[in-house]
Amino acid sequence: MACVLEAPLRMSVLSEVTASSRHYVDRLFDLDPQKVLQGVIDMKNAVIGNNKQKANLIVLGAVPRLLYLLQQETSSTELRTECAVVLGSLAMGTENNVKSLLDCHIIPALLQGLLSPDLKFIEACLRCLRTIFISPVTPEDLLYTDATVISHLMALLSRSRYTQEYICQIFSHCCKGPDHQTILFNHGAVQNIAHLLVSTSYKVRMQALKCFSVLAFENPQVSMTLVNVSVDGELLPQIFVKMLQRDKPIEMQLTSAKCLTSMCRAGAIRTDDPCIVLKTLPCLVRMCSKDRLLEERVEGAETLAYLIETDVELQRMASITDHLIVMLADYFKYPSSVSAITDIKRLDHDLKHAHELRQAAFKLYASLGANDEDIRKKIIETENMMDRIVNGLSESSLKVRLAAVRCLHSLSRSVQQLRTSFQDHAVWKPLMKVLQNAPNEILVVASSTLCNLLLEFSPSKEPILESGAIELLCSLTQSENLALRVNGIWALMNMAFQAEQKIKSDILRGLSTEQLFQLLSDSDVNVLMKTLGLLRNLLSTRP
């Protein structure tokens, strides 16, 4: 045996592994239906928690056979149910497993299975569909290809607590964007799911709540409807407020806070309503505290940033609740040095969430400082804040960079900070670097910030000019993107205000007469007004 070469040995090990799995697949083809059923049950027991076994069975072609048995009218209901259970177990393995199942067209087969009269089989199909749809590799649109599917799922909601749990979970994972929200809304999602919020099953209540949080997000139509829906004589906002209470599980508090936040932002609930001021806002601030899990702190801060983004009173209130501004500084301290020594698993977890924490903190600081000068001052005086923003501008993660630029933009609205902190930390340098080759969403916020740094009282104006800003801004005025055109011409207008003749000549040379006329005939009134402002500043010599 010692003289056997390595390659054949590897092959023999592989064939041994698959041979041990092959008999499971072979039994699926037995002529005796009873033996086939026993084979599927044995396969079910063999794959539970065993990813290697799952992969082997997929390679050996178990999936097409299981799907065939699942769809055969002649198969017993018990056999079809067991097939659905095994397929669901295979889907719980790796993302590659889910891809293999999708390639075998598992979704149409399972959706077809939902037409069966047998509840146990329907539940098994739904459980498997749920597992497949919550995988990141499954395209959500597969749920919406056939218009009858959604109405059938709505009808199945009344069958059992399991159908309720799985269907709500499928909806909340497959509702991405306004098109999906509209389809679900038009199929009566609000009316069909509302009463599940008072179900005796926690899992059903939770999945129904998650459904509403994705349905209402940035959707005025859904939000305005939710505000008037009542269950057992109680309006939905009151039910959401009860779910916010401290004695409820954290995920329930967070998700109901998200529902109320969406409804508030859509104008369905006023910003000074007690349920926002006394319940939702304090709950979200609580989620940012040190004793919460990292994931909860990220979600809490991002939701709070969205809630207070456009309302100065909520910004003031949040800023003085539980020392929030100082509490957020802790978001930048991951991964902490202690965890590196004590616990590798913890370090891995911290590393994974460190980006998300920084992004969430920058977003919330941006919202907090959007309007109030005192709040901006407090933020900037928080330990190492300007250094953190400057570091954030050059991070590898696009989302962190965008959030850092947003935070900088918010703080750049302060005359005092432009003259002090912004100058001390030479913020313009990393900002100019960000503007060199960033995607549009970053460019829009970064160029807005640059507009503020080019105001005549800003000490950053001179060095920005010397670093080639005119050329960059002139190129922005030719962008297809409207916001970039506006910001480009706006920054040039600020730059030309009471400027010396050389700067004015450089702007005219960079823009060209042709481009100026182009801007004067732009269809957007903002572009037109800023271009006229630029011309006034170029031609006027009077202070």
Q: How far is CA 509 from the centre of its chain?
A: 44
Q: Are 314 and 271 in contact (CB under 8 A)?
A: yes
Residue 273 scores a pLDDT above 80: yes
**233 DSSP assignment:** T
Q: Range with the lowest mean pLDDT among 151-165, 200-214, 332-346?
A: 332-346
Instruction: Specify the pLDDT at position 401.
Output: 93
Instruction: Specify the pLDDT at position 2.
Output: 41
Residue 142 scores a pLDDT above 70: yes
Please give the helix or strand (H or E) that residue 534 lies within, else none.
helix 525-539
**Mean pLDDT in residue range 23-32:** 89
Contacts of 172 (CB under 8 A, 6+ apart): 207, 210, 211, 213, 214
Residue 451 in tokens: 């507009």
Q: Percentage of the chain with pLDDT > 90?
A: 72
Contacts of 179 (CB under 8 A, 6+ apart): none
Instruction: Specify the pLDDT at position 16.
Output: 53
Residue 418 scores a pLDDT above 80: no
Contacts of 90 (CB under 8 A, 6+ apart): 47, 54, 57, 58, 62, 63, 97, 101
Residues comprising the chain, all counted: 543
Sorting pLDDT into bands at 50, 70 and 90, what band is 127?
very high
**Mean pLDDT in residue range 281-306:** 96
Residue 541 scores a pLDDT above 80: no
Instruction: Specify the pLDDT at position 384.
Output: 87
Q: Range with the lowest mean pLDDT among 28-32, 85-89, 98-102, 422-426?
A: 422-426
Sorting pLDDT into bands at 50, 70 and 90, what band is 342?
low
pLDDT in tens, 86-122: 999 999 988 999 999 999 999 999 999 999 999 999 9
Burial 228-257 (b: 16+ CB within 10 A, else e): ebeeeeeebbebbbebbeeebebebbbbbb
Q: Are 308 and 315 in contact (CB under 8 A)?
A: yes
Instruction: Specify the pLDDT at position 4.
Output: 39
Residue 92 in tokens: 């719980």
**Mean pLDDT in residue range 493-513:** 90
Instruction: Specify the pLDDT at position 93.
Output: 84
**Mean pLDDT in residue range 140-159:** 94
Instruction: Specify the pLDDT at position 542.
Output: 63
Sorting pLDDT into bands at 50, 70 and 90, what band is 14?
very low
Amino acid at 113: G
Q: Are 89 and 106 in contact (CB under 8 A)?
A: no
Rounded distance, CA 281 to CA 314, Å? 8
Pairing of strands 230-231, 234-235: antiparallel
Amino acid at 329: A
Sorting pLDDT into bands at 50, 70 and 90, what band is 543?
low
**268 DSSP assignment:** S
Instruction: Specify the pLDDT at position 429.
Output: 86
Residue 343 scores a pLDDT above 80: no
Rounded distance, CA 148 to CA 256, Å? 30
Instruction: Specify the pLDDT at position 8.
Output: 41
Instruction: Specify the pLDDT at position 524.
Output: 93
Q: How many CB atoms lie within 10 A of CB 211?
A: 28
Instruction: Specify the pLDDT at position 5.
Output: 38
Rounded distance, CA 304 to CA 364, Å? 7
What is the average pLDDT value for the chain, to the nearest integer? 90
Q: How many CB atoms lie within 10 A of CB 97?
A: 22
Residue 233 in tokens: 């004589």
**Mean pLDDT in residue range 74-86:** 95
Residue 336 scores a pLDDT above 60: yes
Handedness of CA 534, 537, 540, 541 (dihedral sign): negative
pLDDT in tens, 189-198: 999 999 999 9
Report the DSSP beta bridge partners of residue 231. Answer: 234
Residue 213 scores a pLDDT above 70: yes
**Mean pLDDT in residue range 415-436:** 79
Instruction: Specify the pLDDT at position 3.
Output: 44
451: helix, strand or coil:
helix
Report the DSSP beta bridge partners of residue 230. Answer: 235
Instruction: Specify the pLDDT at position 453.
Output: 84
Say which residue the tokens 């930390």 belong to.
425
Give CA separation, 404 vs 206, 244, 355, 360, 398, in Å.
Answer: 33, 30, 11, 10, 10
Question: What number of H helices and E strands is found in the chain?
Answer: 36, 2
